[in-house]
Amino acid sequence: MTTVKLSDIIAPSFYDLHKDIKADRHTHYWLKGGRGSTKSSFASTEIPLGMMKDPMANAVIIRKVGLYLKDSVYEQLLWAIERLGVSHLWQCRQSPLELVYTPTGQRILFRGADKPKKLKSTKVRKGYIRYVWYEEADEFGGMEEIRTINQSLLRGGATYTVFYTFNPPKSQRNWINSEVLVPRSDKIVHHSDYRSVPAEWLGEQFLIEAKHLEQTKPEQYRHEYLGEVTGTGAEVFTNITIRPITDEEIKSFDHIKRGIDWGYGADPFVYITAHFDSKRNRLFIFYEFFRCAAKYDVIANAIRKENTQNGTIIAESAEPRSNDELRDRGFHIRTAVKGPGSVEHGITWLQNLEEIVIDGTRCPNAAREFNEYELDRDSRGELKADFPDKNNHTIDAIRYALEDYIGRKIVKSTLSKRKLGIY
């Protein structure tokens, strides 16, 4: 096999990721970024490179619509094979669309998810499907669709590498922007953009176009070229930071507040714990218990585990019987004070915080709900003024928990609307 320099085919931002893949440290690699980030080039290089080192490895490359395979990922793989200097070792087939490593017969197969039966029946003569690549992963219908495909393909082997390449959609509510926030021990999320790519790889005109957009439409530039989730203009919270909150930080917290939102029917029960730093106007959310159809004993055990000193909990007032059940188990329960405008006022108060820090590993549902919470639009596409009453269970629990702070200083509710351009 021809010797090539890593720096000749892989941009610097991917060096550490290449080492991670080589060492089989993770299974799922979510590669997001803007135009010219070379994320697709990286995936297309890693797959044939890995296959030539493992005689049992095969690959399946997937796009949502099969019609686009030949002119996109197939050509991308041909480019990678040529750059690796091994074109003479690979046979290109058009019908069916596939690449064959001639020394061993290993295959790279190309499939469209618009024909699920073909995906389900995908088989290889030798070895197993070690590599799977979802190109333009945001085009898929959601994680459930992808999970179903993975369950069909990832069988019979000891080691797998799955790539998901995509340009992040504008809205945080989009399923794939939410999915990358979900923690998994076998998962890496990698972000890149064109600024870490050698200029000669991109060409002068690419850089000219990027600079022009940066100067004329900076928000569009951030989305298209930097791969940022810039939002749709309907986001309620623009002050969210998702990051780990360390045990050391938690030990230093001295203004701990706890809240409960009781679930109805299919809605979940939520118990949440946060620290409010009034000096810096920052909120830290670091514990949640989020469960549908949870029994009282299960709820009580979860609360005791976190609330070891039996601190006061402010709970939703609409469930007096449920609150009494917890009181009977020894908890200090105080019911939240509700009234006209209390929801809007509480959300506005949260909007005006300097920062809401959420530990995405400890509190995945809070991270998801705060990030995805957006104003609805009417039939004309205009933003509605009212805050939506859906997918806001952790938000409600936080409002109850912080009732003492929220009630101290009234912030005019029109502030939140002005931020969103609603008057």
Catalytic machinery residues: 136
Task: Provide the Cα torsion 309, 399, 276, 302; round to 10°.
Answer: 30
Answer yes or no: are the C-beta atoms of 369 and 270 closer than 8 Å.
no
Q: Kindly report the number of other CB atoms within 10 A of residue 183's CB atom.
A: 13
Q: Which residues of 409-420 are buried (b: 16+ CB within 10 A; e: fewer)?
A: eeeebeebbeeb
Contact criterion met (CB below 8 Å) for 353 and 237: no
> Do the Cβ atoms of 350 and 284 come closer than 8 Å?
no
Q: What number of H helices and E strands is found in the chain?
A: 18, 15
**CA dihedral sign, ordered 307, 312, 318, 319:** positive
Dihedral through CA 305, CA 311, CA 317, CA 320, nearest 10? 70
| Token couple for 197 | 């790519």
Q: In sequence order, which ranges of 217-354 are alpha helices (DSSP H)? A: 218-224, 247-252, 296-306, 320-328, 342-351
Burial class (CB in 10 A: 0-12, 13-18, 19+), 369: buried
